[in-house]
Amino acid sequence: MNGEWLIRGRDGRLSVYLMTQDAVLCRAEQVPKGPWDAPRRIGGDQRLHPAPAPAIGQGADSYAHLVAWRPTAPGESDLVHSTHFRPLLAALDWDPVGHPDAKGDRTGRPVVAVDAQGRAHIFVRGGGGGLHMRAQAQKGGWGPWRDLKGTGLQDAPVAVAGRAGRIEAYAVGSGVILHWRQEAPGTEFRLVEEVAAEARPGTLRALATSDENTTLFFTDVSGHLSAWRPGARPVALLPAAGPGPVAAVRCELDGHDCTLLAQCSSSGRVAFAAYPGEQESAGAWWTESGPRLAPDAEVSLGLDADGRVVAAVLSPSTGQLLLTRRKDEPGLALTAWQEI
């Protein structure tokens, strides 16, 4: 899944979303911090493409929004959207939202972000290499596809709801990172900034790190995990633990507002690093945890019903799902990893 696929629902239950050969499945806690139910298919019988990966996003109302490509005809596909209101309820059927170029095959991995009014915004690279967006309309249905410009985008964008629910999006171009945002929720997007940076495609993750700012995390070509907030320069934070993107969550640790990062490391375990929110100068370092994992393992971070950090690891090849939570003690002490 593209995005943090471990989320907490409105009722406090945790859910995880995973892609199979042609469907998205959901597993959820039966009660907060309780046993988990069996995997259930999301969105009815619609067959989906497993690649590029489906996207997941969550709004302030805690509803999950999912976006995926589906086949429509030989050599043609379009995007579909589903909303999941409660972990133990069935999700809405997949709703077609079309193609950024009106017609054609898959153009890239989608991403979805949700504004303060609960409207999903879908972003995807178009066939011409620019960024395209379609959003749910205020009175229902969907607005038109919009070409947000930008050229030569190298991989999937990332998007996040920032200040007052305003959506911001980032993407990698040739030697630059581009940043789009709304001036206010529900308004049009503008390409507002480009910064020179050699980011590795497939390593972007955006997080609302304060009530005012979003931060983009990425791995540069030298192998350093960097952080960028628009209006400043990217800051090298620490060497990346592994080749993929980081998972990130804003959380409270020992009374401090912190950013917690997790990454599947090159050694095959999960590495964690935390630092005071938006204070990259304070430094950060990795601490590895858990067993050695399959090479395709992915990690996601969230908060449980008590606001405690939870980390989940999923291996698509083996189907193994592992979970750990922060203990009720100082620091970032974690419980033993448990298979679900």
Q: Quick: pLDDT tens for 18-57.
A: 999 999 999 999 999 999 999 999 999 999 999 999 999 9
Rounded average pLDDT over 277-288: 96
| Averaged pLDDT, 218-234 | 97
Answer whether residue 184 shows pLDDT above 90.
no
Which residue from 146, 120, 150, 113 is spatially nearest to 135, judged by alpha carbons?
120
Predicted local confidence at residue 175, as pLDDT: 95
Distance separating alpha carbons of residues 234 and 195, to the nearest angstrom: 8
Residues 6+ positions from 193 with CB-CB distance below 8 Å = 178, 179, 230, 231
Task: Say what the pTM is.
Answer: 0.96
> What 3-state DSSP class applies to 164?
helix
pLDDT score of 176 more than 90 = yes
The confidence score (pLDDT) of residue 220 equals 96
Q: Is the pLDDT of residue 212 over 90?
A: yes
Question: Chain-wide mean pLDDT for the chain?
Answer: 95
Cα separation, 220 vs 205, whole angstroms: 13
SS3 325: strand
CA distances to 34, 88, 127, 183, 301 from 3, rounded to whole Å, are 24, 21, 22, 24, 10
Looking at residues 264-272, what average pLDDT do you find? 96
Q: Residue 158 is which amino acid?
A: V
pLDDT at 164 over 90: no
Give tens-digit pLDDT for 285-330: 999 999 999 999 999 999 999 999 999 999 988 889 999 999 999 9
Q: How confident is the model at residue 186 (pLDDT cuts 50, 70, 90)?
A: confident
Q: What is the pLDDT of residue 73?
A: 96
**pLDDT for position 88:** 82
Alpha-helical runs (H) found in 225-303: none
Say if strands 14-19 and 224-228 run parallel, antiparallel, or are unpaired: unpaired
CB-CB neighbours of 192 under 10 Å: 14
Band (165; pLDDT cuts 50, 70, 90): confident
Place of tokens 């007052």: 164
Task: Yes or no: say if 179 and 193 are a contact pair by the CB < 8 Å rule.
Answer: yes
Which burial class, exposed, middle or buried, applies to 32 when counting CB atoms under 10 A from its CB (0-12, 13-18, 19+)? Answer: middle
Task: Identify the pLDDT of residue 333.
Answer: 94
The confidence score (pLDDT) of residue 43 equals 93
User: Which tens digits make up the pLDDT trace of 66-90?
Assistant: 999 999 999 999 999 999 998 888 8
